[in-house]
Chains A and B, each alone.
Chain A
């Protein structure tokens, strides 16, 4: 699937792919989304990790999580629903077993953190800030808040601002807040996250959905509901990125159904300063590298000198 392009001597200088998201500097705008790239090592024989704009690791929680019962994932039309239940080895194992491996690469490591209490988010942020080799934190605020009986942090502006503020007070690292799309007006939550101290917003997380087996009359997922990802959600995600980019002053990492370089370019045009490849990594392990190459070719083809020239440049 991977094709190598032959460089011709009379080509114009290569367009710059470097982007700056606040204090986060990336050599290109393509990262891999949390939960779709493990902790990097799983892909290292198929993907040159040094080429990626950044790696966002699978969500890390304070304690290990066993995850949900099976079935956890079901394919739907041009997408898939997942209810993994944040299975991960926990912060200690991440720091001792996963992070040292990732440090060997020339690729910023963004740690996605998840918790069901504000105090746990703070503890994660505090300890990760002391670790060597963490470029930024990404908060998964789509988790249920145990203190409020399980309402997601990210669906309520007050809770969003509160939990972001609590983490902000514990870290000097660039703080990314990953927004849930399962809200009435995502710009309200986006502003709340920025008020709380977010440096960067990433969106969208998965859309809540379900699937039912008509023959057995049962839910297809053991958890009954799951998060929808894949090309099916791209138009919804693109719309939300465009709206948020025009509502807040901070940089945006756009994601949601990006499968190709063209998809990625659309998110950049909508206002994302960088993009993340998610479910596409399952389908095509080198999707992220192909997106990087494709964006460069696009910039050359249309005569842009830098990818920054196309960010937010969609017009009617």
Chain B
């Protein structure tokens, strides 16, 4: 059940020169939120900016009744958000969207592919997988532009997962991109016993899809689109999917039908 409320800021931390983690008190959201879901935040009531913005849930603390999100302060909205102090209220609607799903299976390989600010929901997923003892092999490929854009790598390094860290500039981990590692892994993966979970920039999601779909590895891809309403009504956040009936495709709402879609369903337009 979605909740609309004004959530007080419990904590607001700078993670690197441009990344921040904001923690809100919202017990109903903390109780329900699952990996892949998001909250829709309103910055101000003076119409500047007018619309809300979606942020993936990074962490939940059910005892404290809180959840957090990580954001990159780069636009009007996020620059405004970083000015907010502990105790201030943030209007939210949450939790929204669907979640990553996994089968607890000792023989399964879970490959989590995280790019830049796409990492938070996958960190949440890895934490849940490990915490629930889902079994199987968990591989996390976490990449970003540089060290300061990398999210969750330290925490992931403490978890019982196989972690690959990459940066475009080599400032930490290996120099390279996430799909380099994924491509190297493909031959050792049994398509019926592996699942890929991906979140990151569209170009990365497309590259991941191009690698796994031809070899039949199922993938769950969390897409990134603008989300004007995030309530499923404005139809401004649609993603093109294969569809049997003419004209051969259908537009689905990334807010309400997604943001996670099966990799083999997505049609990536230029």
Residues of chain A having any CB pair with chain B under 8 Å: 1-2, 35-38, 42-43, 45-46, 58, 66-67, 69-75, 77-80, 82, 84, 87, 230-231, 259, 279, 281-286
Contacts and interface: CB of A to CB of B under 8 A. Distances in A.
Contact of A79 (B50, B226, B235, B249): B50
Report the 4 A-B pairs with minimum CB-CB distance, sorted nearest first: A73-B236, A38-B233, A282-B229, A78-B47
Interface in B209-242: 225-226, 228-229, 231-240
Contacts, number: 101
A25 B269 CA distance: 47
21 contacts: A35-B234, A42-B256, A43-B231, A43-B233, A45-B1, A46-B2, A58-B233, A66-B250, A67-B238, A70-B251, A71-B226, A72-B236, A75-B49, A75-B50, A75-B51, A75-B228, A84-B236, A87-B238, A230-B50, A283-B51, A284-B91
Contacts of A82: 228, 234, 236
Contacts of A231: 47, 50
B127 interface: no
Given A66-B249, A73-B226, A84-B235, 8 more contacts: A1-B91, A37-B233, A46-B4, A72-B238, A281-B229, A282-B51, A285-B93, A285-B231
Contacts of B256: 42
B231 A282 contact: yes
A149 B237 CA distance: 30
Interface string B1-42: 110111000000000000000000000000000000000001
Q: Count chain A CB atoms within 10 A of each CB in B1, B229, B249, B256 and give the residue with the most.
A: B229
B228 A78 contact: no
Nearest to B42: A283
B184 interface: no
B52 interface: yes
Contacts of A69: 240, 269
Nearest to A222: B269
A87 B4 CA distance: 27
B131 interface: no
B234 A282 contact: yes
Given A73-B226, A73-B228, A87 B234 contact: no
Contacts of B228: 73, 75, 80, 82, 282
A72 B235 contact: yes
Contacts of A38: 231-233
B50 A80 contact: yes
Nearest to A2: B4
A59 to B, nearest CB: 11
B47 A259 contact: yes
Contacts of A45: 1-2
A283 B247 CA distance: 33
Nearest to B269: A69
Contacts of B1: 45
B3 to A, nearest CB: 8
